[in-house]
Amino acid sequence: MAVYAVGDIQGCYDPLRKLLDQVKFDPSSDTLYCVGDLVNRGPKSLKTLHFLMSLDDACVSVLGNHDIHLLAMIYGLRQPRATDTLDKILAAPDVSQIGDWLRSKPLLEVNKKRRMVVCHAGIYPWWSLKFARKRCNEVEAVFKDKEQCIDLLGKIYSNKPLRWSSDLTKTQRCRFTINALTRMRFCSPKGRLNFKDNGYVGMVTDTRVPWFDFNNPGLSGWRVVFGHWSSLGLLIRPKLLGLDTGCVWGRELTLAKIPKSIDGPIKLYSQKNN
Ligand SMILES: [Mn+2]
């Protein structure tokens, strides 16, 4: 009945399997939460997806920006970038099922018993958990319908709107939600998402603050588990767990055993990519 969370896998299949062996992961009783970015840049994206799909309900994953990029490529909406390593997936006989599986994944997962919220990049600091779930549900409902999903994927590649407001159109709301949940690192104190800087914490200024450094009473009583920020590395605070430890960049993949109590100690395991 153990609950684990793993950082950005990005096709690093071998360290993932080693970590699961190390903790004797049992898919019939344990659960593995993935913070998203299951694929791309790493060596074995297709194998990673097939393995995670085989875990069925024992794997709970949220979508990361690379997973959404893959979806857009599967549906012919995006051209490959030089750093992409998605060719094998795109040529796979079951690429359409892979697309269906990815589309069914949420942007936000909640484990009530462990008081844990899982997302790829973070939660917009001006949103309560309840409101964030409402926003994510709106996107997830669109993704579940293939035609609507394709239509939305064709419209999300823009940074705007940078700031949430209640008078956005549905497309703007969905784009903002996807950008916040899967790409955000810094926000301005006035609530603008900052996509200009890809991330050194040394870049923090009065106008560029990590999303998790804003006080958000709407998340009190919850532990947020996220990835996406490899230059941050492992981040452990009482209510925060950042798990992107840059496996795909030659560092390591991190697996965390989530304690039953929110105040309990987190056990960490890590494996390099060879
Ligand atoms: Mn990411």
pTM of the model: 0.97
Asked if residue 12 has pLDDT above 90, the reply is: yes
* Interval 115-124: pLDDT, tens: 999 999 999 9
CA–centroid distance, residue 37 to ligand 1 (Å): 6
Distance from Cα 145 to the centre of ligand 1, integer Å: 24
Is residue 200 pLDDT above 80, yes or no? no
Q: Say how many Å lie between the CA of residue 19 and the centre of ligand 1.
A: 21
pLDDT of residue 76 exceeding 90: yes
3-state secondary structure the chain: CCEEEECCCCCCHHHHHHHHHHCCCCCCCCEEEECCCCCCCCCCHHHHHHHHHHCHHHEEECCCHHHHHHHHHHCCCCCCCCCCCCHHHHCCCCHHHHHHHHHCCCCEEEECCCCEEEECCCCCCCCCHHHHHHHHHHHHHHHHCHHHHHHHHCCCCCCCCCECCCCCCHHHHHHHHHHHHHHCCEECCCCEEECCCCCCHHHCECCEEEHHHCCCHHHCCCEEEECCCCCCCCEEECCEEECCCCHHHCCEEEEEECCCCCCCCCEEEEEECC
Compute the distance from residue 36 Cα to the ligand 1 centre, in Å: 7
pLDDT at 165: 96
Distance from Cα 168 to the centre of ligand 1, integer Å: 25
| pLDDT tens, position by position, 187-196 | 999 999 998 8
In the predicted model, is pLDDT for residue 160 greater than 90?
yes
Q: What is the pLDDT of residue 213?
A: 94
C-alpha of residue 244 to centroid of ligand 1, in Å: 9
pLDDT tens per residue, range 201-248: 676 777 789 999 999 999 999 999 999 999 999 999 999 999 999 999
What residues have their beta carbon closer than 5 A to ion ligand 1? 37, 64-65, 228
Using the mean position of ligand 1's atoms as its centre, give its distance from the Cα of residue 224 in Å.
Answer: 16
Q: Is residue 170 predicted with pLDDT exceeding 80?
A: yes
Q: How far is the CA of 66 from the centre of ligand 1 (A)?
A: 6
* CA of residue 242 to ligand 1 center, whole Å: 12
CA 169 to ligand 1 center in whole angstroms:
25
Q: Across the chain, what does the average pLDDT equal?
A: 96
Ligand 1 centre distance from Cα of residue 265 (Å): 26
Question: Mean pLDDT over residues 269-274, rounded?
Answer: 90
Q: What's the pLDDT at 204?
A: 74
